[in-house]
């Protein structure tokens, strides 16, 4: 649909931290970013397009269960992505959940990216709380399981320069919003 409307348009995708995405928007090297809140900048606008529940990747005896109760994680060792890489909000949501369930003191390792985290989990070095998208990163020795109760959630924002009134940018944002609405779980559609 986008290519039919704008046949000469090229889309390119980059994997950047939240801070680097904000800088790239300001530098005009990207036009749209997908990042974790908060988005606090006077030149940028954003809108939540997805709310993800956090999942638990595990190569662990608990992997046989469909859902895992927080109390079953009392002896678990957790691997975290550090605050600078994960983004402040994701890091805080995970920390809050761990503290609420008195599991906060069990962090055994901090890493810089999701792939390293999943590799370490697959080697049996610990468990991790990650957003839903991690289910799509397939590692042989890693499985994902839902938490049985009180699953923390985090939004994914689509951000752009507030002054960007280009028809291409507006069209792209409308396509993303339509996709997000069509794919939102029942009860989360706006």
Q: Kindly report which listed range (67-81, 111-125, 135-149) carries the lowest average pLDDT score.
A: 135-149
> What is the pLDDT of the chain when averaged over all its residues?
83
**Secondary structure (3-state) at 53:** strand
pLDDT tops 80 at residue 45: yes
Hey, which residues does 70 pair with through a beta bridge? Answer: none
Q: Quick check: pTM over 0.85?
A: no
The model's confidence at residue 189, banded by pLDDT at 50, 70 and 90, is very low
The pLDDT of residue 185 is: 67
Is 190 buried (19+), middle (13-18) or exposed (0-12) by CB count in 10 A? exposed
CATH of 52-151, one of 3.30.450.40, 3.40.190.10, 3.40.640.10, 3.40.50.1010: 3.40.190.10
pLDDT over 80 (residue 69): yes
Local confidence band at 85 (pLDDT 50, 70, 90 cut-offs): low
Domain 2-49+154-183's class?
Answer: alpha beta
d(CA 152, CA 6): 39
Cβ-in-10-Å burial (0-12, 13-18, 19+) of 58 comes to buried
Q: Taking the domains of the chain in order of start, what are their residue ranges? A: 2-49+154-183, 52-151
pLDDT at 16: 86
Domains 2-49+154-183 and 52-151 share a fold: yes
* Residues 4-29 pLDDT 10s: 878 887 888 888 888 899 999 999 99
């Amino acid at each position: 649909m986008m290519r039919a409307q704008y046949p000469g348009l090229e889309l390119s995708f980059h994997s950047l931290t939240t801070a680097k995405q904000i800088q790239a928007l300001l530098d005009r090297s990207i036009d749209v970013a997908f990042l974790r809140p908060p988005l606090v900048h006077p030149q940028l606008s954003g809108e939540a397009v997805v709310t993800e529940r956090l999942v638990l990747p595990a190569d662990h005896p608990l992997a046989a269960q469909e859902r895992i109760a927080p109390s079953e994680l009392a002896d678990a060792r957790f691997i975290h992505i550090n605050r600078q890489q994960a983004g402040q909000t994701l890091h805080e949501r995970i920390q809050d959940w761990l503290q609420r369930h008195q599991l906060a003191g069990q962090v055994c390792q901090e890493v810089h990216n999701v792939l390293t985290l999943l590799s370490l989990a697959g080697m049996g070095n610990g468990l991790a709380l990650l957003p839903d998208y991690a289910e799509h990163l397939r590692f042989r020795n890693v499985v994902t399981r839902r938490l049985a109760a009180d699953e923390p959630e985090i939004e994914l924002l689509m951000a752009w320069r507030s002054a960007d009134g280009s028809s291409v940018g507006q069209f792209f944002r409308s396509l993303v919003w339509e996709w997000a609405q069509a794919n939102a779980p029942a009860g989360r559609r706006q």
